[in-house]
Amino acid sequence: MLSKNSIEVSKLIKEYGDFTAVNGISFNVKKGEIFGLLGPNGAGKTTTVHILTTIIDKTSGEAEVAGFDVSKDKDAVRAHIGIVFQDPSIDDRLTGYENLELHAMMYSIDKETRTKRIKEMLEMVELSDKANVVMSNYSGGMRRRLEIARGLLNEPNVLFLDEPTVGLDTQTRRHILEYIKKLNEKYKLTVLLTTHYIEEADYLCDRVAIIDHGKIVVCDTPQKLKEGLHGDIIKITMKTEKEISELDKALKGFKNVSSFKIDEADKKVAYINVLETGSDLPKIIEQAFKKKLNITSIDIRKPSLEDVFIHYTGKSIRDEEAAGNEMMQSIVRSRMR
């Protein structure tokens, strides 16, 4: 393998009839990197993962994984990757150990290596004591951990994780994230993960590509993405949608207001990116006062990855916000202990 990159994607397109699920995306993932595809449901994340893992064929474009072409060298790609699917894909009637053994046999891993590797992976995800329990008795979190262990049996160079923490409780999500970090550090494993949890991408990923409607709208480190939005974000809520659009009009031509984004899901809310809160906030309030607009609440913050997401996609990932924040708070709390 000559390339420094574990994954190289260029102008990738996937069409289903008239519908374009993946619309010409390009990105690279460096060796040893944790790379995140962050986007809402339907953005094209799973489709991209399925193309890169040779499960489905692309319509056009180029993609290489671990140095092999995903269309021409499918077997080689498969030999070098591990996958954890979005949907559970494990046999409930078998024990954890049996599931791993079956999988290792499919990769023709010899008995001795297999035994050693299964033991190591079970320890890694802290399931050694549950190895002989039938999977139907596993919790959601235990299943995910076993799936991660399974994805690692063939000693892959690249691990694909499609929404690894969806449907898990806060505590379990936190554990899964810690395992991913540990794996990446211990085995220098390249990880491509998809998520619609902004805080998860922020916490875990070296670089994040924001994907929406089949297109990558921006890609960089979480830090750089946040720095790209200068100043502060003023989140303002008004009594009616009409008042928000009135305020938008009133602030046109204010040079310190670098953007005014009305929330797509709740049009009574706007995110105003200002350069100098100290002098800009009074001006905004003055305008609202002059036009007799009713402000319900104002919240000022430094740009978060959420704001970056809003800036580039024009919407927030609302439902997940609370869950994500809660999870991050519990990570921070546990670190501080």
Order of strands, edge to edge, in the sheet holding 257-262?
Answer: 257-262, 269-274, 232-238, 295-301
Q: Smallest distance from the beta carbon of 167 to Mg ion, in angstroms?
A: 12
**Which lies closer to Mg ion via its Cβ, residue 81 or residue 109?**
81
Phi, psi of 240 (to 5 degrees): -135, 160
Q: Smallest distance from the beta carbon of 305 to Mg ion, in angstroms?
A: 19
**Which lies closer to ligand ADP via its Cβ, residue 56 or residue 133?**
56
The contact set with Mg ion (CB under 5 A) reads 45-46, 86
CB–CB of 157/66 below 8 Å? yes
Q: Smallest distance from the beta carbon of 45 to ligand ADP, in angstroms?
A: 3
Task: Enter the tokens of residue 193.
Answer: 């993960």
Q: Smallest distance from the beta carbon of 45 to Mg ion, in angstroms?
A: 5
**Which lies closer to ligand ADP via its Cβ, residue 37 or residue 127?**
37
Rounded CA separation 153/134 (Å): 20
Q: Smallest distance from the beta carbon of 141 to ligand ADP, in angstroms?
A: 21
CB–CB of 327/170 below 8 Å? yes
Whats the size of the chain, residue-wise? 337
In 91-217, alpha helices (H): 96-106, 111-124, 140-151, 170-187, 198-204
**Helix or strand (DSSP H, E) at 231:** none
With CA atoms as reference, report the closest residue to 20 among 48, 49, 50, 39: 48
The contact set with ligand ADP (CB under 6 A) reads 16, 19, 21, 39, 41-47
Q: Smallest distance from the beta carbon of 42 to ligand ADP, in angstroms?
A: 4
Choose from Mg ion, ligand ADP, none: what does 16 bind? Cβ within 5-8 Å by kind: ligand ADP
Choose from Mg ion, ligand ADP, none: what does 274 bind? Cβ within 5-8 Å by kind: none
Rounded CA separation 316/18 (Å): 27
With CA atoms as reference, report the closest residue to 42 among 317, 327, 329, 324: 317
Choose from Mg ion, ligand ADP, none: what does 237 bind? Cβ within 5-8 Å by kind: none
Task: Enter the tokens of residue 149.
Answer: 């262990």
Q: Smallest distance from the beta carbon of 281 to ligand ADP, in angstroms?
A: 37
Choose from Mg ion, ligand ADP, none: what does 60 bind? Cβ within 5-8 Å by kind: none
Choose from ligand ADP, Mg ion, none: what does 47 bind? Cβ within 5-8 Å by kind: ligand ADP
**Which lies closer to ligand ADP via its Cβ, residue 14 or residue 103?**
14
CB–CB of 165/200 below 8 Å? yes
For Mg ion, the nearest residue by Cβ is: 46
**Which lies closer to ligand ADP via its Cβ, residue 21 or residue 161?**
21
Residues 6+ apart with CB under 8 A from 330: 170, 171, 174
**Which lies closer to ligand ADP via its Cβ, residue 52 or residue 153?**
52
**Which lies closer to Mg ion via its Cβ, residue 167 or residue 228?**
167
